[in-house]
């Protein structure tokens, strides 16, 4: 039994691996549903452009629907005024704003997948065929860094609904307070001291998690047999396909 399994209840076996209970209050009731198409969104500025270009190319090849947000200098996608952290890729304070903007233009029930621009899908992306509201990626074990906690915010599924929009409002305000989009998520879901002050609408939300190994793999060595999405975050950036030497 790994650390993740000790902390979260297993809910279902999906194509992406085991779905875990993530709700800070109780176990959500998860049911299989017929799913529509998935829409991927991402954002980058000129500094991250080459990674965004690579991601865009990969999504096009996979015939996945996508929409990019241009934070300045991307040269395509929807222009978006928003702050990006000083350390590239580590913090995107405008992430909840972008997700909110994207969801507000989509039909109710539509599933959206946020991908950081330094992620690379390796296998065709499928929707999650369950009635989830939000699905995060959970680390193998809880990081000792409080800002990382269990959740890595590079890959997140959202289903458009009034409750999801409420969650995003909470995420936005907490992102401002704790100065980090990822830290905010970890505070909402995994900080005991915050539990009492969390709004009650969270009780009825189906917030779940899937293993980072499968949907957000940022481990240089990977134990997962099937990696759907790799995430070349700062510490493994040099392994991004863009930086791999071409073999002759
Ligand atoms: Mn990233």
Spell out which residues have Cβ within 5 A of ligand 1, the ion: 89, 116, 118, 154, 233
Ligand 1 centre from 79 Cα, in Å? 20
> How much is the pLDDT for 114?
98
Does 227 score more than 70 pLDDT? yes
Q: What is the pTM of this model?
A: 0.94
pLDDT tens digit sequence for 91-145: 788 999 999 999 999 999 999 999 999 999 999 999 999 999 999 999 999 998 8
pLDDT tens digit sequence for 181-207: 999 999 888 877 777 788 888 888 999
Ligand 1 centre from 11 Cα, in Å? 27
Ligand 1 centre from 74 Cα, in Å? 16
From CA 70, how far away is CA 148, in angstroms rounded?
Answer: 26
Architecture of domain 3-21+33-237: Alpha-Beta Complex (3.90)
From CA 140, how far away is CA 112, in angstroms rounded?
Answer: 24
pLDDT tens digit sequence for 164-178: 999 999 999 999 888
Does 88 score more than 50 pLDDT? no
Ligand 1 centre from 225 Cα, in Å? 22
Does 29 score more than 70 pLDDT? yes
Query: Which residues have C-beta within 8 Å of that of residue 228, sequence separation ≥ 6?
Result: 16, 121, 122, 123, 125, 214, 215
Ligand 1 centre from 154 Cα, in Å? 5
Ligand 1 centre from 181 Cα, in Å? 12
> How much is the pLDDT for 27?
67
Ligand 1 centre from 73 Cα, in Å? 18
Ligand 1 centre from 129 Cα, in Å? 25
Ligand 1 centre from 232 Cα, in Å? 7
Ligand 1 centre from 36 Cα, in Å? 27
Long-range contacts of 200-204 (CB under 8 A, 24+ apart): 201/163, 201/166, 201/167, 202/23, 202/24, 202/25, 202/167, 203/23, 203/25, 203/26, 204/163
From CA 5, how far away is CA 183, in angstroms rounded?
Answer: 22
Ligand 1 centre from 227 Cα, in Å? 16
Ligand 1 centre from 49 Cα, in Å? 13
Does 153 score more than 50 pLDDT? yes
- Work out the pLDDT band at 89, boundaries 50, 70, 90: very low
- Work out the pLDDT band at 179, boundaries 50, 70, 90: confident
60-64, 72-76, 136-140, 193-197: least confidently modelled range: 193-197
Ligand 1 centre from 196 Cα, in Å? 31
Ligand 1 centre from 246 Cα, in Å? 24
| Residues facing residue 211 across a β-bridge | 138
Q: What is the mean pLDDT of the chain?
A: 90
Ligand 1 centre from 202 Cα, in Å? 26
pLDDT tens digit sequence for 18-28: 999 988 777 67
On whether the CB atoms of residues 135 and 210 are closer than 8 A, the answer is yes
104 exposed, middle or buried (CB, 10 Å; 0-12, 13-18, 19+)? exposed
């Amino acid at each position: 039994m790994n650390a993740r399994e000790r902390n979260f209840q297993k809910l279902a076996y999906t194509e992406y691996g085991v779905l875990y209970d993530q709700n800070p209050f109780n176990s959500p009731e998860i049911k299989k549903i017929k799913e529509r198409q998935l829409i991927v969104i991402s954002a980058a500025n000129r500094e991250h452009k080459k990674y965004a270009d690579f991601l865009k190319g990969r999504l096009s090849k996979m015939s996945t629907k996508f929409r990019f947000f241009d934070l300045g200098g991307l040269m395509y996608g929807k222009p978006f005024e928003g702050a990006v952290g000083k350390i590239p890729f580590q913090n995107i304070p405008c992430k909840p704003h972008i997700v909110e903007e994207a969801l507000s233009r989509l039909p109710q029930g539509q599933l959206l997948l946020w991908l950081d621009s330094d992620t690379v899908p390796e296998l065709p992306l499928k929707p999650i065929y369950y009635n989830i509201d939000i699905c995060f990626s959970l680390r193998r074990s809880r990081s000792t860094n409080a800002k990382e906690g269990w959740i890595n915010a590079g890959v997140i599924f959202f289903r458009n609904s009034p409750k999801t929009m409420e969650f995003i409002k909470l995420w936005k305000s907490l992102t401002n307070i704790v100065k980090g989009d990822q830290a905010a998520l970890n505070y909402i879901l995994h900080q005991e001291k915050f539990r009492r002050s969390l709004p009650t609408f969270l009780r009825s939300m189906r917030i779940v998690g899937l293993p980072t190994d499968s949907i957000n793999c940022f481990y240089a060595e990977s134990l997962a047999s099937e990696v759907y999405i790799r995430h070349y975050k700062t510490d493994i950036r040099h392994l991004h396909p863009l930086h791999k030497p071409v073999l002759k």
